Structure 1
Amino acid sequence: MKILIARMNHETNTFSPVETPLAAFGRYGPSYARAAFEENKGMQTAMAAFIDAAERAHAEIVTPISAMANPSGPVDAAAYDAICDAIVTAATGCDAALLDLHGAMVAENSTDGEGDLLARVRALLPHAPIAVALDLHGNVTQKMIDNADVIVSFKTYPHVDMYETGAHAARLLFDMIEGRAQPMIAWRQPPLLTHTLRSASADGAMKRALDAARAAEADGMLAVSVLAGFSLADIPAPCISVVVVSNGERAAAEAVAERIARQIWDERDDFVYRSAPLAESVARAASLARGADKPVLLLDHGDNCMSGGTCDTMDLLEEALKQGLEGIVSGPLCDPQAVAALAAANVGSTVTLAIGNKLTNDALPARSPLAMSGVVRALTDGEYVISGPTYTGQRAYMGRAAVLDTGTVKLVVTERTHEPWDLGVFESVGIDPRRARFLLLKSRMYCRPVFMPIAAALVECDSRGVTSSDYALFSFEHVKRPVYPLDPHTEWATTN
């Protein structure tokens, strides 16, 4: 048995000015063939679980590509074609396919990156089983449903069940191959744009929806997924979805999908996040720091790397300085020009330079960089190994990294946008984040399992970046209306 196994992951923020060429996928581009296999084997990805399952089945494994890029703007047409072509070319002659996809990819030449890829694979393999693992923030489309036999998504955010999701999808694929299951898919998609900060799996309406999904699986469904969607994509339906896989019982799958979707719709307001003004958030952080013996976290979710943020907006740092906060550790801030200037000055030099606020587009109006003076404390290659729990053991690449110390702020500046996955973001450049009074991180969720244990408190801060929770900042031209909460009186009375 010959099995196609591949990875194509990108969450596209169509409002982001951060470009997504082929080189953005991986360190300098995707991994191919044996390198793609080795990049995932032993890791905590869905593709790693696919490989393990295929090896247990003594299958011939074909791994044409592993391509994962941080969220950013639409994928370059040439990059999208290159990744898809590698997968489709390798599909010829395969008996089954296991695909590790995100579910929210938009390319310059495709508003439905995963659906268009799956349609091409299905055309080549009309009778072969196809199983897909998706991110919890995938935007499900009819084309995805029509061209996959099995769809399973993560049930955690922050995502710590990527491997488990891949193992689940692979198990159903092999059950299908060996005649133990006849997967049938049903789905529902209420007209609801969720906020990412309301898709955390540990509490609220999202937890209740995921609990209902798990209960339905315990009651006989092969897989039940709740996908919060990724709403910062100007496509027809960047909305929440429920996808149910039953064992030959379409009516049962439809009933479960309808029931959970109705539960979500009835609680729709709990999927909406309403931000406090930035000045108010910073003032609250200052209050929480009084008497604390640990840092206070200020999470700049309006410029969040893992939602397509530029990682160069200075709103939060400027407000913190305006309010007199001291003992600040901040970063990673993406500014390749600043890194070059700091590298040219060398460690120990005192420099004055303009930092941040350099990437703009229609959704992110021009603002002046912040003039900062300080001492260059460190210059590194920006590489470290993630300790977990997300992407445990993988090597992280920030591009070259530098530290500017103003006396009030230790600022980590990098060449690439980078999520603070790990204490290694700071420790790799000689900073102990535990000794900070305030930690300013450009993050929503992924930093929390690592940084919350060392923090006294956490404050969510909404800067005016391209990942802001204020949808009024964005011009949605292609989203099908009405949709909640853009249209408060939206009704949903029909099934898919």
Structure 2
Amino acid sequence: MSAPPRLFIAALCTETNSFAPFPTGWSAFEENGIDRAGSVSDPNSPLAIFRALGEADGFAVSESISTFAQPGGRTVGQVYAALRDMILADLAAASGADMVLLQLHGAMMAEGEDDCEGDILARIRALVPGAVIGAVLDCHCHLTPRMVAAADCLIAVKEYPHIDFADRARELYAICARTHRGELRPIPALVETGMIGIYPTFAGPMRAIVDGLAAIEVRPGVLSVTIAHGFPWGDTADTGTRVLAYADGDAAAAQAAASEVAQSLITAREALRPDYPDIAASLDRAATLEGPVVLADHADNPGGGAPGDSTFFLRAVIARGLGNVAIASFHDPAVVRIATDAGVGARIAIRLGGKAGPTSGDPLDLDVEVMAVTPDLGQMAIDVPYSMGPSVWLRHAGIDIVVCSRRAGIFATSIFEDLGIRLAERQLVIVKSSSHHEAAFNPIARHTWKVATPGALDLDFNRLSYVRRTRDFYPIDGSRPTARVIDLT
């Protein structure tokens, strides 16, 4: 009786903001767990899907680490090397693999390594040269030639907010499993658009472009089309918006599909460009509307590597004397500890936010009442439970402020509701988020938009001090984007 085929799975994810004021260290990964079995408890995670489908197909499955860190600055070099080498050691200990499936972000940078995913995939390819290798990615990835050359198939989520990781994991498994069985021969084509940007997919031209991918993917021979939005705040030579397509043994079909989608992005570039009002204009408009009005503090989104403690928006709200406002969440463990020790009902003086660096603004000295305390505030983040740690609800002059011990963007209304803040009763709700809040907050908002705030995710790309990325892309300095096929040989 022949031995079953071997499937090896692992996950190592973080998104690197080159302009963030702090590094990503060991504790950032430990905070979420460095686990060899954690993914199995969440049936919607890519690793759990890979395992379930692999076992159903008769694979003997080996699982290495599953870990991620909240987006931040570059990962400390020795931390990245240690995590990468855990995966490689586990692969060697498994005596190789016939198929390797990974969950990676695609925009992870470490000290001394701008392309962590390309490094990981190339090292895995060297260990198992005959294996089928695939990875599911975040759409905010830097798709590099090294990544594409080392893998048989790379597929990024299509949606932003990212609600389709499970679907993309199943798609990746199907293509890789068929490739392992000799039924497919995926041929890639990678096309540069000459653009950089941020492209939410819930509405507008990006919605139409993403919906149009389905029609392209059913064309003869075409297997998959990925739009890599890129991550504008990661300064690499490969930063930017790219399209990756695979076709079954047909380079021309892959190139045609990728080029068509790239051109559609270029054609829609003006409409895709973010044009958000600033804080002052947003507060002026919100004052004329019936609530709840939900506003996103775009530049202080921890999900993009921001500190989550900027004070610009709250300072403006206080300066106008506005009340019936709720804001979440400030990452300030010291304030949480002080308020927790004081207890519910206490009136205390705090110094809130403004601690991480210049992009956070100045701290705010506030007199607050402690309204609620919890040892563990949770939210569902892309169908996965996520703990914000010990957290408190503070009230200052009619403004309800959520302060948490763990740094993360806002995904769910539970951040407010579980503390007792009823959003339906609030005129104005402010969330430190770019787009991931939309799925949960849009249904409860009478009006909602994103605000071009100061901070670590500055939307004026002309102000970003790119060093590794040449400044010849749209919308920098009025450049005109042109589609270009990237040589993968």
TM-score range, shorter chain: over 0.9
Report the Cα distance in structure 1 between the residues aligned to 2:261 and 2:438, rounded to whole angstroms: 28
| Equivalent in the alignment of 1:187 | 190
Report the Cα distance in structure 1 between the residues aligned to 2:386 and 2:418, rounded to whole angstroms: 11
Deviation at 1:5, TM superposition (A): 0.7
CA contact (8 A) 2:193 2:481 kept: no
**Aligned counterparts, 1:7-406, within 5 A:** 7-25=11-29, 27-32=31-36, 35-40=37-42, 42=43, 44-92=44-92, 93-194=96-197, 196=198, 199-220=199-220, 221-288=222-289, 292=290, 294-360=291-357, 364=359, 367-384=361-378, 386=380, 390-392=381-383, 394-406=384-396
The superposition leaves residues 151-174 of structure 1 with CA deviations (integer Å, 9 ceiling, x where unpaired) of: 111111111110000000000011
Identity value in percent: 29
Report the Cα distance in structure 1 between the residues aligned to 2:470 and 2:387, rounded to whole angstroms: 38
Deviation at 1:253, TM superposition (A): 0.8
Report the Cα distance in structure 2 between the residues aligned to 1:428 and 1:324, rounded to whole angstroms: 26
Deviates more, 1:45-54 or 1:248-257: 45-54
Q: Which runs of 5+ in 2 are unaligned?
A: none
Report the Cα distance in structure 1 between the residues aligned to 2:475 and 2:333, rounded to whole angstroms: 37
Deviation at 1:204, TM superposition (A): 3.0
Report the Cα distance in structure 2 between the residues aligned to 1:114 and 1:5, rounded to whole angstroms: 15
Report the Cα distance in structure 2 between the residues aligned to 1:493 and 1:341, rounded to whole angstroms: 54
AA matched with 1:415: S
Specify the SS of the correspondent of 1:274. Answer: coil
CA contact (8 A) 2:311 2:362 kept: no
Report the Cα distance in structure 2 between the residues aligned to 1:191 and 1:279, rounded to whole angstroms: 33
Report the Cα distance in structure 1 between the residues aligned to 2:446 and 2:269, rounded to whole angstroms: 32
Q: Which runs of 5+ in 1 are unaligned?
A: none
1:419 counterpart = 2:412: no
Change (3 A) 1:28 1:140: closer
CA contact (8 A) 1:22 1:30 kept: no
Specify the SS of the correspondent of 2:368. Answer: strand
Specify the SS of the correspondent of 1:487. Answer: helix
Deviation at 1:493, TM superposition (A): 6.2
Report the Cα distance in structure 2 between the residues aligned to 1:472 and 1:410, rounded to whole angstroms: 35
AA matched with 2:258: A
CA contact (8 A) 1:282 1:461 kept: no
Specify the SS of the correspondent of 2:478. Answer: coil
The superposition leaves residues 345-404 of structure 1 with CA deviations (integer Å, 9 ceiling, x where unpaired) of: 22221111111111115xx3x732111111112221233252xxx532x33211221111
Change (3 A) 1:472 1:370: farther
Deviation at 1:68, TM superposition (A): 1.7
Report the Cα distance in structure 2 between the residues aligned to 1:266 and 1:446, rounded to whole angstroms: 26
AA matched with 1:203: A
Report the Cα distance in structure 1 between the residues aligned to 2:264 and 2:211, rounded to whole angstroms: 11
The TM-score with structure 2 as length reference comes to 0.93
Change (3 A) 1:449 1:455: same
Which of 5, 10, 17 is the aligned partner of 1:6?
10
Report the Cα distance in structure 2 between the residues aligned to 1:457 and 1:487, rounded to whole angstroms: 33
AA matched with 2:15: E
1:431 counterpart = 2:421: yes
CA contact (8 A) 1:36 1:64 kept: no
Change (3 A) 1:360 1:487: same
Specify the SS of the correspondent of 2:159. Answer: coil
Report the Cα distance in structure 2 between the residues aligned to 1:215 and 1:262, rounded to whole angstroms: 16
**Aligned counterparts, 1:473-492, within 5 A:** 473-492=463-482
CA contact (8 A) 2:195 2:481 kept: no
AA matched with 1:275: Y
Report the Cα distance in structure 2 between the residues aligned to 1:250 and 1:460, rounded to whole angstroms: 40
CA contact (8 A) 2:294 2:447 kept: yes
Report the Cα distance in structure 2 between the residues aligned to 1:306 and 1:6, rounded to whole angstroms: 22
Deviation at 1:128, TM superposition (A): 0.6
CA contact (8 A) 1:285 1:459 kept: no
Report the Cα distance in structure 2 between the residues aligned to 1:49 and 1:478, rounded to whole angstroms: 37
Report the Cα distance in structure 1 between the residues aligned to 2:276 and 2:328, rounded to whole angstroms: 22
Tell me which stretches of 4 or more aligned residues in structure 1 moved more than 4 Å.
none
Change (3 A) 1:472 1:443: same
Report the Cα distance in structure 2 between the residues aligned to 1:377 and 1:128, rounded to whole angstroms: 56
Report the Cα distance in structure 2 between the residues aligned to 1:244 and 1:443, rounded to whole angstroms: 30
Aligned residues: 478
The TM-score with structure 1 as length reference comes to 0.92
Deviation at 1:39, TM superposition (A): 4.1
CA contact (8 A) 2:379 2:415 kept: no
Q: CA-atom RMSD, angstroms?
A: 1.8
Deviates more, 1:466-475 or 1:115-124: 466-475
CA contact (8 A) 2:98 2:132 kept: yes
